[in-house]
Structure 1
Amino acid sequence: MAIQAVIFDFGGVITSSPFEAFARYEAQRGLPHGFIRTVNATNPDSNAWARLERSEISTAQFDAAFRAEALSLGHDVPGGDVLPLLAGEARPGMVAALGICKAAFKVGCITNNVASEDDIGWGPSVKHILTAFDHVIESAKAGLRKPDPRIYLMMCEALNVPPEACVYLDDLGINCKPAAALGMTAIKVTSEAQALADLAAATGLRFTSQPDR
């Protein structure tokens, strides 16, 4: 089926990965590399992170709940320290690719986020990017978060396209799997250059910042 829509994750795709900020924080605090991701991966459907992204708890409650989970794994990390690490910097090549995709297809964004963007330090320039999408689904507003298959189907319904006609980009394999299972062309993003190359292959588009092969 011909591609009709390109659906993007936000953090780690349009912006730099929060994992980079996690790693810097861990190095500064003498924590094991990957510790924050380990906390987030423990009981992933019911932990503090998941509940915050579904707006089931406040950021103040998250601060204490995440800290308790971190302490149970051997290190003291307040949740309030983690939230500002999520902001990231816009990737110019991906922002440009979004515009090119929009000229040819419908474009959507599915992002697991928190209710208060001020808590993660999104500036006006990052928030402005969200206005370029035809439709945005935020977990904190929808009450669902990836990898729940329903959130992908919500986007398909909003864009009025079948899953088989969509390309989906995300930096987490766990979020790509349900998209692929629904029939989407899923691209796991590991770098800007790789994402642009794979997106070009999937859509037939040419991106100006895509490196020559």
Structure 2
Amino acid sequence: MTYRGLILEFGGVLTIRMRLNGEAFERSEGLAPGTYTRALNAHPDGVAIYKALEVGEATQEQWNRVIGGILGIDPTDLMRRALANLHLEPRMVDAARRARAAGIKVAMLSNSFGLTPFNPYEALGMWDGQWDAIVLSEQLGVRKPDPGIYLHTLEQLQLAGEECVFVDDHAVNRRRPLPWGSVRSTTRTLPRRWRGWMHSWITRWQRNDVMSRPALTRQRLECGESYGSPLISPDARSTRLRGAHCRKSHEA
């Protein structure tokens, strides 16, 4: 079977590494190195409010107040300030556009940063017109790695799971059995070898040179697990994931 769908994470895949953005934010706010990451990943209130934000149980303004309180800084429009140094990864954005132009269905799948008062997807020009589907966790009430969000993405694309390639920067989002067979990938921020493979794949697609699973399974993609510091091996091998199109047993 030929791959017909490309599903991309926003932060850390379509953008630069989240860790780089966090470090720049710490410098701009005069925070000690690592302070922001610890607030998000280690402080119990920070962990709880981020999880609630991602599933739509907290507003971005509530996140601003909680994280601002932990950091001891002005919470006003904090998410905008926290993401001020998050820039697009141009070659990945170009790869997504080339894929769609070649007839591949392309989705952006993201655990949400919230949409108001600051919409980071819109701010970076990723909100309208260039996706076959945009899937945000807050709009569904579930976040990665819950299988429901992957099933919903497949339904939006109207593709079987085995037809899709999924690119994410966190191992935890790929660890449990997912409802598709796919290449599993991550970024640091997508080294040249992986970016080159993406461009090669799309170019061959445009030339009607069918790229089937056996060709793809020569790739090996692995990553680390800490927030904002994904790792990738320089060589590649894909792992076929268990599952089929919209397997409802995952929702039981």
Deviation at 1:125, TM superposition (A): 5.3
Alignment of 1:152-163 (within 5 A): 152-163=150-161
Structure 2: 5+ residue stretches without partners: 205-252
CA–CA separation in structure 1 for the residues paired with 2:72 and 2:46: 22
Instruction: Call closer, same or farther: CA 1:23–1:45 in 2, change over 3 Å.
Output: closer
Could you tell me which residue of structure 2 aligns to residue 170 of structure 1? 168
Deviation at 1:100, TM superposition (A): 1.6
Could you tell me which residue of structure 2 aligns to residue 56 of structure 1? 57
> Across the two proteins, how many residue pairs are aligned to each other?
199
Q: Is residue 111 of structure 2 the alignment partner of residue 112 of structure 1? A: yes
The TM-score normalised by the length of structure 1 is: 0.76
Q: Output the aligned Cα RMSD.
A: 3.1
Cα deviation, 1:12-36, whole Å, max 9, x if unaligned, reads 2222233212112224555453333
CA–CA separation in structure 2 for the residues paired with 1:20 and 1:118: 23
Could you tell me which residue of structure 1 aligns to residue 7 of structure 2? 7
Instruction: Call closer, same or farther: CA 1:50–1:194 in 2, change over 3 Å.
Output: farther
Could you tell me which residue of structure 1 aligns to residue 72 of structure 2? 76
Aligned AA (1:62) = W
Aligned AA (2:8) = F
Deviation at 1:155, TM superposition (A): 0.6
Could you tell me which residue of structure 2 aligns to residue 139 of structure 1? 137
* Contact in 2 for aligned 1:83/1:120 (Cα 8 Å): no
Deviation at 1:91, TM superposition (A): 2.5
- State, as a whole percentage, how many aligned pairs show the same letter: 23
Instruction: Call closer, same or farther: CA 1:160–1:179 in 2, change over 3 Å.
Output: farther
Higher Rg: 2
Alignment of 1:30-69 (within 5 A): 31-42=31-42, 47-67=48-68
CA–CA separation in structure 2 for the residues paired with 1:118 and 1:179: 35
Deviation at 1:66, TM superposition (A): 2.9
CA–CA separation in structure 1 for the residues paired with 2:4 and 2:45: 32
Instruction: Call closer, same or farther: CA 1:94–1:117 in 2, change over 3 Å.
Output: farther
| Partner SS for 1:13 | helix
Structure 1: 5+ residue stretches without partners: 208-213
Which has the larger helix fraction?
1
Cα deviation, 1:48-67, whole Å, max 9, x if unaligned, reads 11111212112232223334
CA–CA separation in structure 2 for the residues paired with 1:198 and 1:45: 37
Deviation at 1:173, TM superposition (A): 2.2
Decide which moves more: 92-101 or 110-119: 110-119
Instruction: Call closer, same or farther: CA 1:127–1:99 in 2, change over 3 Å.
Output: closer
The TM-score normalised by the length of structure 2 is: 0.66
